[in-house]
Amino acid sequence: MLVVAYDNRSEFEITDIILEEIEDAMMRTLLDQEIGVECEVSFSFVNTTEIKDLNRDYRGKDTITDVLSFPMHEDFILHREAIIKDNPFLPLLLGDIVICIQQAEAQAKEYGNSLTRELSYLSVHSVLHLLGYDHMEEDEKSEMRRIEKEIMGDD
């Protein structure tokens, strides 16, 4: 149901256990959102310099961030049926996820989480963005956080 093309451009060694946990988190997200077709996600691990450059170039923010999501489809959540139906090829390409491993490590320490748990959370967050969720407005943020907590099994 999910094809993930990984690209590690960071200096950090990504273990099979980490990759399995990330894929499991993304699969739980797709199942939660009732995406019933095979999907593909491009997933890159990068360093602080690259994420800062991408954040500046694509979002106009010259700062390091933890994750960036680049959806293939505008308003996927609103037009899900048509996008899936009109897609002649499977897997359905959802988009690209770029995670800064150093920022994820720092956040894991700050929140008292393992790196694997932080990467899983960021993966859930990113897939939701690929599916059209956002957190710019307070009501959107509340809805997205509720879904993330449900998928992650947080109380």
- Residue pLDDT, tens place only, 123-143: 999 999 999 999 888 888 999
Q: How confident is the model at residue 155 (pLDDT cuts 50, 70, 90)?
A: low
Domain range for 81 is 2-152
Which pTM was predicted? 0.92
**pLDDT reported for residue 78:** 74
Q: What is the CATH number of the domain that holds 128?
A: 3.40.390.30
Tell me the average pLDDT across 70-84: 83
State the Cα–Cα distance between residues 131 and 128, nearest whole angstrom: 5
Greater pLDDT, 7 or 76:
7
- The total number of structural domains that make up the chain: 1
